[in-house]
Structure 1
Amino acid sequence: MRYIDTHCHFNFPVFSDNLAQSLHQLRESNLSAVIIPATKATDFSALLALSRQHAELFVALGLHPLWISEHHDNDLIQLENALSSGNQVIAIGEIGVDFYTPQLTALASRQWALLSAQLQLAKAYRLPVILHSRKSHDPLSRLLKESSLPATGVIHGFTGSYQQAKRFIDLGFYLGVGGSITYPRANKTREALARVPIEFLVLETDAPDMPLYGYQGTANRPERVVQVCQALATLRGQPVEEVMAVMWQNSLRLFPQLTAELT
């Protein structure tokens, strides 16, 4: 059984400070690929170098909404330069909108403007997007409907309702399934991910964030994507081998550049 973690911040110090051991643990857990999304323009060069050096690591480049106050106009230029330079970028991300705090909500117009600019780059380069969405599912789905992206993308760490999930799926977007489904009280999300078509789900960890139930207070790890898969199989009442195989194919379909490397 082989796994793909479609969202892991493997460049964060908890992994990069002992990179050899971190890579060894990936391989021991049958992780064939890890997608590392950028958060800021200052990540770009290091992430591209990391991807060139290690076959299991793949890169998405984007400007994360949580750092909206730190992004500059030149960052979008850096992003487009990186995309146009022939680098092996498999998606644009992590991008999106976040209205979780009053401080972020106050910067809503800046967030929407930055997201719209990055969606235009995704359209121009025909790349899928990795979308961050907190307290913003409904307006985000409306923007995505208007954007008509050729390669769609994934709603990372989806924690919404079945109705919200269906709206994204109807637009051709995938849902990222992470540690939230391991929490017994996450009834809304668990119900949604049990009901939607499995062909629109992909596995992720968001490591070192989004710890699984029972691991609260510790850094999440990409190897725990195996446990996320097991939890999803239990939730849907399907054999874990069957779910893993579908997740593998879904990931390759969503991120076509993985196909040449992994098949």
Structure 2
Amino acid sequence: MHEKHSRPGLIDSHVHLDDAAFAIDRDAVIERADQAGVEAMIVPGVDAESWPRIKALCAKHTHLHPAFGLHPMFLGKHVPAHVDALSSWLDEENAVAVGEIGLDFHVEGLDRELQRDFFQRQLQLARQRDLPVIVHARGALEEVSLTLRRTGGLRGVVHSFSGSEQQAQHLWDIGFHLGIGGPVTYPRAQRLRRIVAQMPIEFLLLESDAPDQPDAAHRGERNEPARIADVLQCIAALRGEPEARVAAATSANARRLFALNRRDS
């Protein structure tokens, strides 16, 4: 067994460990993450069907923390009653966040008005409970940002951020974090790399989004949470900072946002 890295522990702020892609070797994937120094992981839900799986998984592994939400890409599986059910899950199941929620205007055929309704209703649930939100914003970042600002009283992370410097600034202005994962390791992602190199570190979170979005060295493969160590290495190089500093800062950000210290005590 390899020794864990001596740097501060990492936190994967977004990993779909309940996904069927991990059905065969999920425990081994978690063990590899542990050995890579990943000390905590946030597991967001995407539809009502996923919530019991995530609950069971996080009960089995105490360093996994559940979030529950209704993802816009699974709009066809959602019904209005699921928002009411979500309210109960948030109250009873020790969720660290409402998510994964948001808007997706990239995929054709997803009713935008219905997406907006589910998004706004879930934002209200988060605000009522003072829970952070984990936000998906693909092809819809401008509207998502405006909705967050207009709703007010929210905090959270826009995961897999891919917007402009100005859009990033707008999110920091309202206290939102950027979730950064495998895409930053691709040399062609010049704008993202520039943002990450210069951004205030207090708004930076590491994420894998596994099994999706592998880093450049694992293009086309199933992603897994251990590889946020490679994301960390890339970000530290882009910023010209020691890996230990970036690890400590991003983990502190995640612990603060998701109140992990309170839950571990």
Q: TM-score, normalised by structure 2?
A: 0.94
Aligned to 1:100: 106
Report the equivalent of 2:35. 28
> How far is the alpha carbon of 1:262 from its aligned partner?
5.0
Gaps of 5+ in 1: none
Residue 151 of structure 2 is aligned to residue 147 of structure 1: yes
- Conserved in 1, the CA contact under 8 Å of 2:29 and 2:224? no
> Which one of 52, 58, 70 corresponds to residue 59 of structure 2?
52
Aligned equivalent of 2:18, options 1, 6, 11: 11
CA distance in 1, matches of 2:208, 2:28: 18
What is the alpha-carbon distance in structure 2 between the residues aligned to residue 118 and residue 212 of structure 1?
A: 31
SS of 1:95's partner is: strand
Q: Percent identity?
A: 37
Instruction: Name 2:3's counterpart in structure 1.
Output: none
Q: TM-score, normalised by structure 1?
A: 0.95
Asked if 1:90 corresponds to 2:96, the answer is yes
Alignment pair present for 1:37 and 2:44: yes
Q: Give the whole-Å Cα distance in 2 for the aligned partners of 1:67 and 1:13.
A: 16
Given candidates 225, 230, 233, the residue that maps to 2:233 is 230
Paired residues of 2:105 and 2:140 also in contact (CA < 8 A): yes
Whole-angstrom CA distance in 2 between matches of 1:22 and 1:194: 29
Match of 2:162 in 1: 159
Counterpart position of 2:85: 78
Listed as ranges, the gaps of 5+ residues in structure 2 are 1-6
Listed as ranges, the matches of 1:138-217 within 5 Å are 138-150=142-154, 152-217=155-220
Q: 1:261 to 1:125 in 2, by over 3 A?
A: closer
Q: Tell me which amino acid in the other structure corresponds to 1:224.
A: R
Structure-2 separation of matches of 1:229 and 1:40: 30
For the aligned residues, what is the CA RMSD? 1.2
Amino acid at match of 1:15: F
Aligned residues: 258
User: For 1:137 and 1:43, how far apart are their aligned partners in 2?
Assistant: 25
Q: What amino acid does structure 1 have at the position aligned with 2:85? A: Q
Deviations 1:173-216 (A, max 9, x none): 00001111101111111111222211100000100001111211
Secondary structure of the corresponding residue to residue 89 of structure 2: helix
